[in-house]
């Protein structure tokens, strides 16, 4: 029942399905059952949770409360460890619990984005060994990678086709039928194809951001404005991405999925190049000020997304510190206390006091103030134009 799972459950409930939302977080379960949306910043979600709580949407913290369900959709996080390898512990735990209530004829769907092959090679084994049932024969197993984006999770269900692929043809038919109730599913050949569709989206963007980053550094060497080049180069066959350090729990993670298991020299180069941009920006800051106080403005990975774990500002802060700067932080969605707590930097109360400002992404509320300080700003996304 996280940022990805609760919107999915709410959309299902709205379509008339009786949904049991299982989560280990008891506080969240209680909030949902009392009609309270535990996730902010998700247009449309609050109304749906309030409308369906206690009726079509009931939350439980014990999997036994979901034993009468006939379809199980798993969408828990998959983190990377210190060596960028996926840590499957949460996923394995969730499927072990599903296996404990699995019955003949049920449908099990994996929605979490995973390294291609996970449904067939990992999830299937857990479900079969824990339940004693056989996938494809006794129960249906499928994959439908989530395609949401924080802040647009509800609208994405009507805007994006939902990719579905099953372990067998019957599994694909079962998942298609179920997803047709609340979305517009599009079938692909099998679970691994479905998994790769989602990973491919992220890798495509990572590689294209690397192209933009490379052209950005070339533009700097030539003394031309990359953003002018980008705009003038735009036509049907060329749409350069924005340069920058890539954050979020999707794009940088999905490239790693392929790098861990396959020979992907292009993806690998792009991934490393994009991370190295933090050091590039820190060095470029030296042209604005050789030392002193520098604020990273825009601490979240995308404007307005209250996510502290996967943001590129951690890389930027570290890179600036390496160059000897006294680093501060500011983002309107984080309080001074949160800024210290999650980013380990003091809050930049007075931006005019800063010798340099690394503007990681646009902050509309600060535009006027930032314009006045533009000579000391390194504007990563060309927000101030
Ligand atoms: N949030 C997004 O914008 C977004 C975007 C794209 C993809 N995703 C996908 O969604 C997946 C989940 O991400 P999220 O943003 O929803 O995470 P989240 O941290 O918001 O929520 C995860 C939820 O899982 C629960 N949980 C943890 N361990 C559990 C367990 N063992 N059993 C049951 N529940 C457990 C947590 O209590 C939490 O409520 C990601 O791996 C990713 O594939 C999310």
State the pTM of this model.
Answer: 0.93
For the CA atoms of 162, 163, 167, 170, the dihedral, rounded to the nearest 10 degrees, stands at: 60
**What is 5-189's CATH number?**
3.40.50.720
7/69 Cα distance (integer angstroms): 19
pLDDT tens string 66-125: 999 999 999 999 999 989 999 999 999 999 999 999 999 999 999 999 999 999 999 999
> In the chain, where are the structural domains located?
5-189, 198-379
pLDDT for res 52? 97
Is 198 designated active site? yes
Distance 3 CA to ligand 1 centre (A): 6
pLDDT for res 149? 82
Q: What angle do CA 31, 37, 43 make, to 5 degrees?
A: 175
> What mean pLDDT value characterizes the chain?
96
Catalytic residue among 28, 58, 97, 198: 198
Residue 19 has pLDDT above 90, yes or no: yes
pLDDT for res 29? 98
Whether the Cβ atoms of residue 136 and residue 27 lie closer than 8 Å to each other: no
Distance 343 CA to ligand 1 centre (A): 22
Return the residue whose CA atom lies nearest to atom 3 of ligand 1.
150
Residue percentage of the chain with pLDDT more than 90: 91
Q: For a pocket test of ligand 1, which of 77, 97, 100, 205 has the largest count of ligand atoms closer than 8 A to its C-beta? A: 77
pLDDT tens string 204-216: 999 999 999 999 9
pLDDT for res 196? 98
Distance 202 CA to ligand 1 centre (A): 17
Q: Confidence class of residue 160 from pLDDT cuts 50, 70 and 90?
A: confident
- 77, two tokens: 């996080």
Whether the Cβ atoms of residue 126 and residue 120 lie closer than 8 Å to each other: no
Burial 42-75 (b: 16+ CB within 10 A, else e): bebbeebbeebbeebbbbbbebebbeebebbbbb
- 155, two tokens: 């609208």
Is 250 designated active site? yes
208/240 Cα distance (integer angstroms): 7
pLDDT tens string 303-325: 888 889 889 999 999 999 999 99
Strand ranges (DSSP E) for the chain? 19-22, 57-60, 71-74, 79-80, 86-87, 107-110, 140-143, 162-166, 185-187, 293-297, 326-330, 356-359, 377-379
Contacts of residue 137, Cβ cutoff 8 Å, sequence gap at least 6: none
Mean pLDDT, to the nearest integer, of 334-341?
97
Q: Confidence class of residue 348 from pLDDT cuts 50, 70 and 90?
A: very high
Residue 148 has pLDDT above 90, yes or no: no
228/69 Cα distance (integer angstroms): 55
CATH class of the domain whose range is 198-379 = alpha beta
pLDDT for res 249? 87
Catalytic residue among 103, 250, 268, 381: 250
Whether 5-189 and 198-379 share one fold: the answer is yes
Contacts of residue 272, Cβ cutoff 8 Å, sequence gap at least 6: none
- What is the CB < 6 Å shell around ligand 1? 1-5, 23-25, 28, 75-78, 90, 93-94, 112-113, 146, 148-150, 250
pLDDT tens string 170-218: 999 999 999 999 999 999 999 999 999 999 999 999 999 999 999 999 9
At 139, is the secondary structure helix, strand, or coil? strand
pLDDT for res 14? 96
Higher per-residue confidence, 305 vs 381: 381
Residue 267 has pLDDT above 90, yes or no: yes
DSSP string, 308-370: -TT-THHHHHHHHHHTT-EEEEE-TTS-HHHHHHHH-S-B-S-GGG-SEEEE-S--GGGHHHH
pLDDT tens string 279-307: 999 999 999 999 999 999 999 999 888 88
Contacts of residue 290, Cβ cutoff 8 Å, sequence gap at least 6: none
């Amino acid at each position: 029942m996280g940022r990805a799972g609760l919107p999915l459950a709410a959309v299902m409930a709205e379509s008339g399905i009786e949904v049991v939302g299982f989560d280990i977080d008891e506080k969240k379960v209680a909030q949902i059952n009392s009609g309270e949306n535990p996730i902010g910043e998700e247009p449309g979600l609050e109304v749906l949770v309030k409308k369906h709580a206690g009726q079509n949407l009931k939350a439980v913290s014990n999997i036994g409360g979901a034993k009468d369900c006939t379809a199980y959709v798993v969408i828990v996080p998959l983190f990377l460890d210190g060596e960028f390898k996926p840590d499957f512990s949460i996923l394995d735990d969730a499927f072990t619990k599903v296996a404990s209530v699995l019955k003949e004829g049920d449908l099990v769907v994996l929605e979490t984005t995973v390294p291609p092959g996970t449904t067939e090679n990992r999830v299937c084994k857990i479900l079969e060994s824990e339940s004693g049932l056989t996938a494809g024969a006794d129960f249906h197993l499928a994959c439908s990678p989530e395609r949401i984006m924080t802040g647009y999770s509800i609208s994405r269900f009507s805007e994006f086709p939902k990719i579905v692929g099953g372990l067998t043809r019957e599994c694909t038919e079962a998942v298609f039928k179920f997803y047709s109730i609340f979305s517009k599913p599009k079938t692909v050949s099998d679970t691994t194809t479905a998994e790769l569709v989602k990973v491919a989206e992220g890798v495509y963007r990572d590689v294209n951001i690397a192209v933009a980053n490379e052209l950005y550094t070339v533009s700097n060497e030539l003394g031309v404005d990359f953003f002018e080049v980008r705009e003038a180069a735009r036509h049907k066959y060329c749409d350069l991405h924005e340069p920058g350090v890539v954050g979020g729990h999707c794009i940088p993670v999905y490239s790693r999925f392929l790098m861990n298991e396959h020979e992907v020299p292009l993806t690998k180069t792009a991934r490393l190049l994009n991370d190295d941009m933090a050091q590039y920006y820190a060095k470029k800051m030296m042209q604005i000020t050789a030392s002193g106080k520098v604020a990273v403005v825009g601490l979240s990975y995308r404007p307005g997304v209250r996510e502290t774990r996967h943001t590129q500002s951690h890389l930027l802060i570290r890179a600036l510190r390496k160059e000897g700067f006294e680093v501060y932080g500011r983002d309107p969605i984080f309080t001074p206390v949160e800024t210290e707590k999650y980013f380990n930097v003091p809050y930049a109360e007075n931006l005019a006091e800063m010798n340099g400002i690394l503007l990681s992404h646009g902050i509309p509320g600060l535009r006027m103030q930032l314009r006045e300080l533009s000579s000391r700003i390194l504007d990563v996304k060309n927000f101030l134009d």
